[in-house]
Amino acid sequence: MSIAVVWLKRDLRLSDHAPLLEAAKTGLPILLVYCFEDMLLDDAHYSERHWRFVSQSLRDMANKLPAGALYVAKGDALAVFQALSLKYGISQVFSHQEIGLDNTFARDKAFATWCKSNQIIWHETPLGAVQRGLTHRTHWDENWQRVMRAPCLNLDLNKVNWFKNNEFECQLPHFETRFQNIQGQFQNGGESEAFNVLNDFFTARGKEYAFTLSSPSLSQIHCSRLSPYLAWGNISLRQVYQTVLSHWQVPGWRRSLVAFTSRLHWHCHFIQKFESECEMEFRHVNKGYDDLPRVTGELAEQRLHAWKTGQTGIPMVDACMRCLIETGYINFRMRAMLVSFLCHHLELDWRAGVAHLASLFLDFEPGIHYSQFQMQAGVTGINTIRIYSPVKQGEEKDEKGVFVRKWVPELCEVPAPLIHSPWQLSQMEQMMYGFTLGEDYPEPIVDVKQSYKDAQALLWLWRKKPKVVIESKRLLYRHVRPN
């Protein structure tokens, strides 16, 4: 017997799935395979919240498939495929191209070698509009439009020649049990849930999107909340984009749909950056910043610990970090502020915090994460220098202090706008509002006004350095669309 395998990675869905469609065309019995890989389970970028989401996604798929058509394993992916091939005879493997971390890239190279030595054909399909090996952006937008407007690649699941094996049925419940006990208020995974959230957004929530997306509280409701489903492939970007187009003429929605559409464009844009320059996982994308002075040693460790645990003494920073720890989600502006505070106010190397935030983001997508992180850290040399003042962000985006009070209850009695700078309160005022600075809530670990000035002076000075300027020209050619 010979079978075709669809290797599931970050594409945990059954609709608009090119590898599945192509595998079905072979007429061979099809087995879907997902592997909880040890190297990823042990990777600092991931935490159990991610694997819980994945196990829920697999359950949703299993419920729509014949028993035994989905095989879920744990271990080394190559070893899993070797065992399956010896037992059942794999003829062809179908998968999406993974734009992942260095470890998955190395694994894919080893897998390609294994396929070749075992006479197994491996078909890889592009991920969305991302182009592998691209060296410039000429015609990139045309390709994006072509891919997103093409018909979705669906098939009738009842007509697929599924490979069915009863021994595979007992695998998934083990992982569901293992990852169900984590604490937190996380979104549930799965293709069905992705479409529930999509429909809910377009029914009502999304109408106020453009007017609320910068608010840490209101964005929880009015943003699409589709990012984890896109990151883990419960829904394709094309499915989302075509849903936007179908609502384009709905009265009262245009401004929000325009704003939402621009974010969908950015999705592939940032992943493409990472695909074209994946070394950014380890080094500054602009090498001119390699010698940028950063705090090290014990002081760096103290600052990093305070940032990671939401104990910096800066309410807006702590509220965002605590919200992330509990829910796995915060809006874009607050993510940018967290990175900005780490790199500019605390003067820490961006690499000190990049894996930590990845492990908290339920929607961790390597390409977007690294491209955005370096941009907010101010080490690209081509983007506008943005240094966020957490006090100003609090006063503007959480004007009444609702968000801070929810996540920093130590300050719940402090009125706005004082809640965003509690270090300005006298001892008498602290007594009135029921807290003592340094006991109930930390003293600020930096003077945010001074750290803002210092960071601004350093970054503008550094940007003029010859090596930064030379590297900037290279990056503009490679990553920016020509006029």
pLDDT, tens digit, 9 for 90 and up, residues 147-163: 999 999 999 999 999 99
Q: What is the rounded CA–CA span in Å between residue 41 and residue 104?
A: 12
- Torsion over CA of 158, 161, 167 and 173, rounded to 10 degrees? -40
> What is the full DSSP assignment across 21-36?
HHHHHT-S-EEEEEEE
Q: What is the rounded CA–CA span in Å between residue 216 and residue 329?
A: 10
Q: What is the mean pLDDT of residues 383-405?
A: 95
Structure pTM? 0.95
- Torsion over CA of 262, 267, 269 and 270, rounded to 10 degrees? 130
Q: What is the mean pLDDT of residues 51-79?
A: 95
Confidence of residue 377 (pLDDT cuts 50, 70, 90): very high
Confidence of residue 38 (pLDDT cuts 50, 70, 90): very high
Q: What is the mean pLDDT of residues 378-388?
A: 90
* pLDDT confidence of residue 483: 63
pLDDT of 1 above 80: no
Q: Which residues, 6+ apart, have CB-to-CB distance to 425 below 8 Å?
A: 414, 418, 433, 437
* pLDDT confidence of residue 382: 86
* pLDDT confidence of residue 169: 67
Name the pairing type of β-strands 30-37 and 3-8: parallel
Q: What is the rounded CA–CA span in Å between residue 166 and residue 136?
A: 49
Confidence of residue 173 (pLDDT cuts 50, 70, 90): confident
Give the residue ranges of DSSP H helices in 29-185.
38-41, 48-62, 77-88, 102-117, 140-149, 171-178
Low-confidence winner among 43-47, 172-176, 269-273 (lowest mean pLDDT): 172-176
Average pLDDT in the chain: 95
Kindly report, residue by residue over 188-233, the tens digit of the pLDDT: 999 999 999 999 999 989 999 999 999 999 999 999 999 999 999 9
* pLDDT confidence of residue 384: 86
Q: What is the mean pLDDT of residues 343-351?
A: 98
Kindly report, residue by residue over 241-250, the tens digit of the pLDDT: 999 999 999 9
* Terminal Cα distance for the chain, rounded: 55
Look-up of token digits 């390709």: 143
